[in-house]
Amino acid sequence: MRKQKITIELSIFETIEDLPSAHQELMRKAVEARKNAYAPYSNFEVGAAVLLENGEVVIGNNQENASYPSGLCAERVAVFQAGAKYPGISISSIAISATSKNYLVDKPAAPCGNCRQAISEYEVKQRSAIKLFLMGETGEVIVCNSLADILPLAFDSSFLE
């Protein structure tokens, strides 16, 4: 037997204002997108803004349904919309912001497992990393250099060859 340690490196910014201006704008678009979330069951609203290599920004927000799990998370709404509207254009980065009607979300919210898998598919497909910017309603912004950082040992298309 051998052991292997997997480590990741994150960048942590104290506030959105500490981000470079281009990334501040992307996060602000995620914040705006979350305001249109449809979350009557969880009261947890998430917005995502996807920056494409051509400069286009595609937004998404969570869309719930009384028939769980028929809804979709903000990240998948945005990523799938980007793939449908701009096929073949790589995703550079994704900003994600979350809030709740029940409490203050003061720490960054990371994508759920389904969203990590979906974003991973695009990283593998485009053969380049997707940078993630994660934020709650207020407080720190965590930046991951790649989805692979938060989903090591991912299942991808190489297993299906």
Cβ(73)–Cβ(114) below 8 Å: yes
CA angle, corner 24, sides to 99 and 22, nearest 5? 145
- Which SS3 state, helix, strand or coil, does residue 66 take? coil
Active site residue: 45, 64, 75, 123, which one?
A: 75
d(C-alpha 72, C-alpha 134), whole Å: 18
- Which SS3 state, helix, strand or coil, does residue 155 take? coil
> What distance, in Å, lies between the first and last C-alpha atoms of the chain?
28
Decide if 75 is catalytic.
yes
Which positions are catalytic?
Answer: 75
